[in-house]
Amino acid sequence: MTPSSRDQGREFLKDAIRLELDFSQTDQARGVEPPPLEKPFAPEARRIDLPPPDRWKDVPLIDLATAVGRRHSRRRFTDRPLTLDELSFLLWATQGVRKRSGSGTILRTVPSAGNRHALETYLAVVNVLDVSPGVYRYLPLEHQLLFEFSEERLPEKLTEATLGQSFVGAAAAVFCWAAVPYRMEWRYGLASYKVLALDAGHVCQNLYLACEAVAAGTCAVGAYHQQKIDRLLRLDGKEEFTIYLAPVGKV
């Protein structure tokens, strides 16, 4: 890295993290309708009901200090499948709804700048009991999995899109978080890009901790080929693009 490219990089970072909070210039201030809280889907689309929190049977309680103390990046998984209860718990812990207020405000299990929640969770399912392999999208408001498409050689393609990281293709399921920038831009304009990235960090940390409760493991993955992963998930790379990944498997 040359000194000038380093300076350029630091300026780039400062530009990205500087909060230019000029609310008068946002679409919200102009009275534009807010975008939907989750991407719409066709009512007839194939969906799987996920067991709600009060019906989980194989999600043991562990104390928070144990989960925090044990958390680490795990890159070796067994062949054992995840159960639907376990998957439901992990999705709820990362993006689930924890409260709906009378006024219609919906709050999740993770924080988000302005409660905008500008992330969608795509789930590459490889080895989950009662769920056929393929790519799904989590619907937090319905607590359902929406079937998106099936894909041949999905594990190999996941490894390829993550620059040869073979533990990604060896996972039972891969959480793929995609940014929907307009959901944040509507309120924050140019300040969106900072808070969007911060939001993704909270989500992945909850996944790490939740995995500890169900004898599973995960590893944050920020090294991937942007176009390859977006193409694999069928995202346009503009209105929606991959921001973070996390393979999950039993350990």
Residues that bind ligand FMN in the complex, under the rule CB under 6 A: 72-73, 165, 219-223
Among all residues, whose Cβ is closest to ligand FMN? 222
Measured from the CB atom, is 131 or 179 closer to ligand FMN? 179
Distance CA 159, CA 184 (A): 30
Please state the closest distance from residue 198 (CB atom) to ligand FMN, in A: 11
Please state the closest distance from residue 180 (CB atom) to ligand FMN, in A: 20
Please state the closest distance from residue 9 (CB atom) to ligand FMN, in A: 16
Measured from the CB atom, is 76 or 100 closer to ligand FMN? 76
Annotate 187-225 with DSSP letters as a single string: HHGGGHHHHHHHHHHHHHHHHHHHHHHTTEEE--B----
Decide: 233 and 122 in contact? Cβ < 8 Å.
yes
Measured from the CB atom, is 95 or 162 closer to ligand FMN? 162
Please state the closest distance from residue 13 (CB atom) to ligand FMN, in A: 14
Please state the closest distance from residue 68 (CB atom) to ligand FMN, in A: 11
Angle formed at CA 123 by CA 153 and CA 170, multiple of 5 degrees: 50
Measured from the CB atom, is 113 or 245 closer to ligand FMN? 245
Tokens describing residue 46:
């194939």
Closest CA to 176 of 142, 149, 215, 203: 203
| C-alpha 198, offset from chain centre | 12
Measured from the CB atom, is 135 or 204 closer to ligand FMN? 204
